[in-house]
Structure 1
Amino acid sequence: MSLYRRLILVAFVLTAVVIVFGAYVRLADAGLGCPDWPGCYGQVSPHHAQADILQTHAVDPQGPVSLPKAWKEMIHRYLAASLGLLILMIAALSWRRRDRQGVAPGVAALLVGVVIFQGLLGKWTVTLLLKPAIVTAHLLGGLTTLALLAWLGLRAHRVARLPMPPGVRAVARVGLVLLVAQIVLGGWTSTNYAALACTDFPTCHGSFSPETDYGNAFHIVRELGMTADGDFLPLPALTAIHWSHRLGAVVAAAALCLLAWLLARRQSTQPLGLALLAAITLQVALGIANVVFGLPLALAVAHNAGAVLLVALLVSINYRVGPLRAEAAVGRRKVAGRGKHEHENSYA
């Protein structure tokens, strides 16, 4: 395996770790464990900032700052910084080998831009005190990084594309769009702490039509837990966020199950179809379990990991069933042309 391929694989795995660990940090209420950026109280580690952390914690023991929380936050930053360096190396190698087959320098350059923006979102997450719009965008940026690395990896390993009917390709694309929309809803639910706005299942507050406040629920520019007018976010708004995520799950799961069935009925794509069906089933089960069991930390983190798995699968599926690459099509025509020429010569 070439250095380029190894770097992409390591970066892909590290991205998944950063996303899942970031979810753990947020769910463990450690997102402000170090209230400044990029260091911790101006220091490179919580160990060096221990006096400031302990002093802040003594003033507000129930606050977001403590030594364990600070370490969680800083470990996440260390991992993210390492990922950024890996992606810069991938982009540099991609540029140097831009004439080789399987290398996509344009995508690698785009990836560098995404990571730089991710760094800014990470900073704003802390300095703007966990604004839901910023935190949700940070999650999407992480998943975008994962998707681009997955695409680069598939291209670098020259994974074969499979000839598929246009209808299957269309369903795969729609499925990816719906998955992204559902992840946005899930991120909005998590960052607004609305995961327990409905504690019963399948109903919400004993009804399939609970009281909701969509105006305040999806007002983007506002502080955490507040309306745009500065009032506390009411329960109907939190209910609207949670209920929208549930309804979105039904739509997305239906589309992805259709895609899984279309893939599983063809021998060439059967493993992809079965893997997708298993991932959907697991993710839906985790979502239900989080409601039924009151959002235990392990299940909540696993639900985020399920989203990572689904994104990776959907990118892979869309790559595999997408239109044949130009060079592959040319190669097929050349082989067909040689075969026709040899056939004609046999009668000469």
Structure 2
Amino acid sequence: MKQLLDQTSGNAVKLWQTVWSPTHVTMRRWALAAVVVNAGITVSGAAVRVTSSGLGCPTWPRCTPDSFVPVAHNETAPINMAIEFGNRMLTFLVLAVALACLVIAMRLLPRRRDLVRLAWIQPVGVAAQALWGGLVVRSLLNPVTVSVHFLISSGLIAAAYALYARSREGDAPPRRLVHRDIRTLGFALTATVFALLIAGVVVTGTGPHSGDQLASRFQFDIESVVRVHTDLVYVVLGLTFALLFATHVTDAPGHVRRAALTLLIVELAQGGVGYVQYFLGVPAALVDLHVLGSTLVWICTLRVVFAMRSRDPLNATAADLDELDTVRT
């Protein structure tokens, strides 16, 4: 037991050192962690909804009117309360990673203003998201508030990925690695994917799995909104295929072509899940898997956009080189 405690203490010290005495390598790692935890809480939020646990903690910021933690409640099943409370606790993990990114960006030498600005978005965004979550509960899961809740998470993922991408680069002006029209196509694809996310939350707010029997629904025709969502899927697939084709015929850098191919594969897999869940009557497990897929599509789209341009290579410091040697060994 003592050995385990000593090892845990040592790992905690090393983890703290990566924050308080940062290098460019640790900046990248924590920024990537921010992408992962923001994606994770997005998926866990969907799990809350599909398990009808949206009002498992019927008040906010307390879980119940008299307690911040789950206690026996006549109107709520213990499992639903545990799921919702668990999702709330994940917020503290996301906040911890966000604060770590901010501290690292401010202590990194030489300090880079762009990284500091991007890092500030993380804790501020998490705080705003937590407050908005309170509005979601107090509005009894109104579909508008639930939809915005998801889209805020998508914005935080984008900001975290931007922090990750910029932490790998220098501060020179961006330089295109592909033809100007191909980069424009990438921007159009990004906008269309975000429109697809919006259409997705409208479908979610119209269909089943509201999160609780007290929740209201959008008063749209479900077939119509699904059709719009499906049409946008085909547009996204067409734009992605066009982007992949263009990068190959223009002999774009290999990492750009690989990023576009990865995006297309993830989109096809996501489309397959979407069709299966539709024909099976929208089972809860597949809905959560579909949310995971939409999050991965968004991340892969951001990866493509950032891959199509470059800046001067980041000048590695001695500490960075030492850490890279440690990673290799």
1:164 partner letter: V
What is the total number of aligned residue pairs between the two structures?
280
Show the 5 A alignment for 1:15-164.
15-41=38-64, 42-46=66-70, 49-50=71-72, 53=73, 55-56=74-75, 65-97=76-108, 99-100=110-111, 104-158=115-169, 163-164=177-178
Contact 1:8-1:153 at 8 Å conserved across structures: yes
Greater shift, 2-11 or 104-113, is seen at 2-11
The answer to whether 1:225 aligns with 2:221 is: no
Percent identity over the alignment is 22
1:30 partner letter: S
- Aligned mates of 1:161, 1:16 — CA distance in 2: 29
- Aligned mates of 1:186, 1:131 — CA distance in 2: 16
Q: CA deviation digits over 1:144-176, x for unaligned, max 9?
A: 111111111122133997611001100110000
- Aligned mates of 1:111, 1:186 — CA distance in 2: 24
The answer to whether 1:166 aligns with 2:180 is: yes
Match of 1:186 in 2: 200
Of 298, 301, 315, the match for 2:302? 315
Contact 2:237-2:264 at 8 Å conserved across structures: no
5+ residue gaps, structure 1: 57-64, 196-222, 227-232, 330-348
Contact 2:240-2:260 at 8 Å conserved across structures: no
Indicate how the Cα distance of structure 1 residues 303 and 102 shifts in structure 2: closer, same or farther if over 3 A, else same. farther
- Aligned mates of 1:154, 1:284 — CA distance in 2: 27
1:92 partner letter: V
Indicate how the Cα distance of structure 1 residues 98 and 191 shifts in structure 2: closer, same or farther if over 3 A, else same. farther
- Aligned mates of 1:263, 1:74 — CA distance in 2: 46
5+ residue gaps, structure 2: 1-22, 210-214, 315-329
Match of 1:283 in 2: 270
Greater shift, 13-22 or 86-95, is seen at 86-95
Greater shift, 244-253 or 156-165, is seen at 156-165
Q: CA deviation digits over 1:12-68, x for unaligned, max 9?
A: 21111111111111111111111111231142322xx12xx2x22xxxxxxxx3110
Rg larger in 1 or in 2?
A: 1
Indicate how the Cα distance of structure 1 residues 224 and 162 shifts in structure 2: closer, same or farther if over 3 A, else same. same
Of 168, 185, 189, the match for 1:175? 189
User: Alignment RMSD, CA only?
Assistant: 2.6
Contact 1:124-1:134 at 8 Å conserved across structures: yes
SS at 1:104 equivalent: helix
SS at 2:67 equivalent: coil
2:217 partner letter: G
Indicate how the Cα distance of structure 1 residues 264 and 191 shifts in structure 2: closer, same or farther if over 3 A, else same. farther
Match of 1:243 in 2: 227
- Aligned mates of 1:289, 1:161 — CA distance in 2: 42
In the superposition, the TM-score normalised over structure 1's length comes to 0.74
In the superposition, the TM-score normalised over structure 2's length comes to 0.78
SS at 1:40 equivalent: coil
- Aligned mates of 2:224, 2:79 — CA distance in 1: 34
Indicate how the Cα distance of structure 1 residues 139 and 168 shifts in structure 2: closer, same or farther if over 3 A, else same. same
Contact 1:185-1:245 at 8 Å conserved across structures: yes
Indicate how the Cα distance of structure 1 residues 161 and 28 shifts in structure 2: closer, same or farther if over 3 A, else same. farther
Contact 1:279-1:306 at 8 Å conserved across structures: yes
- Aligned mates of 2:257, 2:29 — CA distance in 1: 28
- Aligned mates of 2:202, 2:124 — CA distance in 1: 24
Match of 2:28 in 1: 5
1:115 partner letter: V
- Aligned mates of 1:194, 1:124 — CA distance in 2: 21
- Aligned mates of 2:90, 2:247 — CA distance in 1: 36
